[in-house]
Amino acid sequence: MKRNQTVLTFVLLGIAFMLVISSMTISGCSSGSDNSKSQKMNTSKTALNDTKWMIQTLNGSRVLIPEGGKEVFITFSNDGKAIGSSGCNTFNGKAEVSGSSMKLGPMATTRMMCQDQMDTERDFLAALNNTASYSISGNTLSLMDAGKNVLATFTGFKALGGPGQ
């Protein structure tokens, strides 16, 4: 009986996890409309680590996810790693952070082809490679090159759990 309860607990946790991921994916796939303010983090200062950073702009242009496309995001861990999705492929690599300085890469990526997102992916990975510093204002992360030009902006969501939770 105890084994059945343990299995049921794991199944229910798995279902809850899938619902959270599905909710985050659906909210991240809106075509150009901003996520509601209730979904954004309510903290005045969002931590770089333990936050899922969802792309908003890339090289000054708003990033729109095509219908059926994958979200573009990055997360940072306390052990100096960056992982995420570049739209088509997943990536992981080093994240060296000291003060407001940041050096990313080299990044290892999977090698799938996604016709509608390859340009975004190429530009996103180039932006990561050219990142020299970052800043966080509220729940917005900005990655900048050595000349302090903004390469990409992101909105922060808690990495574990739903947006703003």
- Per the listing, tokens 């936050």 go with 51
Q: What residue ranges do the domains of the chain occupy? A: 1-165
The alpha carbon dihedral of 39, 164, 157, 150 has a sign of positive
CATH code linked to domain 1-165: 2.40.128.270
DSSP conformation class of 148: -
Tens of each residue's pLDDT in the chain, 165 residues: 555 454 444 444 444 444 334 333 333 433 333 333 323 333 334 689 989 999 999 999 999 998 888 999 999 999 999 999 999 999 999 999 999 999 999 999 999 998 889 999 999 999 999 999 999 999 999 999 999 999 999 999 975 554 443
Which tokens in the block code for residue 26? Answer: 């659906």
| HSE-CB of 22 using CA atoms within 13 angstroms | 6
Distance, first Cα to last Cα, the chain: 34
Task: Determine the 3-state secondary structure of 12 from DSSP.
Answer: helix
